[in-house]
Structure formats: structure tokens, C-alpha cells
Amino acid sequence: MTGAPARLLTWLAVMATFLTACTPAIDLTETDAGQPVASVSAAPTAGELAEDPSTNATQTPAPPPSAPVPPPRSAAPEAFALNLYQEGDFVPQYTFDWCVAASIQMAHNLIDDTGGGTWAASAQQGELWEMARARSSNSFNGANPLGWAQVLTEAGMGPYSVVSIANYEDALQTAARAIAETGRPVGLVMWSGRHAWVMSGFESMGDPAQFREFQVTGIRVLDPLYPYGSGQWGPSPEPNSLLTPEQLAAQFVVREPRRWSTDLPTGYLLVLPVAA
């Protein structure tokens, strides 16, 4: 029997040693009773969760880039026409020298639609020619485009100015645009500076108010020398005739530089209405 108690004591000693090795090295006297012991690995804070994009349950995807909006298409040019002429606006020149004065009378008639009376008297035409000649200076002692423009302005139809344009198509566009913008006629210096016509309207592909570039297809003209015309330059068209650019080009040519002294460059001369 003495062997069994000895083995029992030996077994108890071994178990005591084993329990001592498994006890955590914490002084329980330094902890508050009933309080849990803090874990070594702390959970992430709320701020840390917000900073981690992987913790978001859902994310709103970025909207796809919008497709570029195409620019609006420009309307295609359409046929356009403007004519200031009314029956009775035409005035013939009463002498072979008074084409500028007759053109001034016709310009008044084309502009004045208030019933103020038609300018057509021969005596008045002579006075207008003297006014234009007094405001002109050249070797021919006649009325030149500068005097023509000045009388139009002084008579209340202006302002008008004289311009020289090197290119024929550009000259037609400039004249048509001026009529459309001002509602007043244009003076055409014909026969290389020897004669005066009035451009009272035009036809075109495209409205000058809508298109920077447009094609003039027809020109309305008044030749105060009608019905006589010229053996060199051709017949006078009937009042309010619609000429093609090719027909007009037979008599509307570049001004001859030696015809009268001016600082304007060589080109197609227009007595042009200017927007006030």
C-alpha cells in the first residue's frame, strides 16, 4: 500500500507544475474587478473606416462623358431679290453732260417714298449739275464722282462716299450689301469714268443680311441716257432692267486712272451709301 500513495504524490506534483506553466503573466490585482482585459489587436475606428474606400458598401459610378453637340448647320443660300424702283422714278438727262445730275434726281426718287414729290424738272437738273461740278475738280471741268457723292449727302440722301474696288465680283457684292443695309441706291461709274448709272436693286443667291459671302446674279439699273446709248459702249438698257453680271460688265469697267485726279486706287468705282 505504501507504493500507491507515493505514486499519487508524484502525479500531483507534475500537475501543479503543468498548471503553473499555463497561467498568463498578468497581475490581477492591477485590474478593475469585472472589467474585461483589453485585446492586443484593437478594431479600426470610425475615422479609419471612412478613409478606407474598400469599406464603402456602394459607390456611385462617375457619369459617362457627354457626347459633343454638333454645331448647327447653316441654311443653304436661297434666291433673294430687292428692288427700290417704282414707276416714275426714272429721269432722263436733258443734255449729254448732265448724267450725274439726272442720277441724283433718280436717287432722290428711289429713296423718297413719302409722296414729297418727284425730282424730274430740267431746271433743277441743271442746278444739281452745277452743284456737283462746283464740288468736283478735274481737267474736263465736269462733275465727277466726288461731287456726285457730296451733293447726295448735302441734299439729305447721304451719307455717300466714293470707293474703288479692284475685283468685279467684290464690287457687285459691296453694292448689293449697301443697298440691303441702307435702303438707298448705289451710283455706278460707267464707261471707265465717263458716265453715270444708278443701281436700284439686285438679285442674288443668299440674303446679304444672313451670308457674308453671296453671289449676285442680277443687277437692276437706270441709265439716264436711255434710249440713246453709246456707239462705243453699247445701247442703254430700259429703266429698271435686270442685267446679268456679264451684261453689266460690258459697260461697267475699271475706271481709267488718267480720267480724273484722285487718290483712289484703280478699280471699279461706286458712289456708295454709308449706314448713318
Stronger pLDDT, 8 or 177, i.e. the higher one: 177
**Looking at the domain 86-273, which fold is it?**
Cathepsin B; Chain A (3.90.70)
Mean pLDDT of the residues in the chain: 80
Q: How far apart are CA 16 and CA 179, in angstroms?
A: 123
Can you give the pLDDT at residue 276?
79
Mean pLDDT over residues 113-117, rounded? 73
pLDDT band per the 50, 70, 90 thresholds, residue 142: confident
- Tell me the pLDDT tens digit for each residue of 155-213: 999 899 999 999 999 999 999 999 999 999 999 999 999 999 999 999 999 999 999 99
Domain ranges of the chain: 86-273
220 touches 110 (CB < 8 A): no
- Tell me the pLDDT tens digit for each residue of 92-107: 999 999 999 999 999 9
Closest by Cα among 196, 90, 192 to 149: 196
State the cell numbers at 188. 455706278
Angle at Cα 217 formed by Cα 213 and Cα 222, nearest 5°? 115
Asked whether the predicted pLDDT for residue 114 surpasses 80, the reply is no
Stronger pLDDT, 38 or 123, i.e. the higher one: 123
pLDDT band per the 50, 70, 90 thresholds, residue 25: very low
Mean pLDDT over residues 81-98, rounded? 97
pLDDT band per the 50, 70, 90 thresholds, residue 32: very low
Question: Which of 57-71, 72-86, 242-256 is most confident?
Answer: 242-256
List CB contacts of 132: < 8 A, sequence separation 6 or more: 100, 101, 104, 143, 144, 147, 148, 150, 151
Q: How far apart are CA 150 and CA 71, in angstroms?
A: 46
Q: What percent of the chain has pLDDT over 70?
A: 70
Mean pLDDT over residues 61-90, rounded? 78
The H or E element containing residue 242 is strand 241-243
- Tell me the pLDDT tens digit for each residue of 40-73: 344 444 444 334 444 444 455 566 666 666 555 5
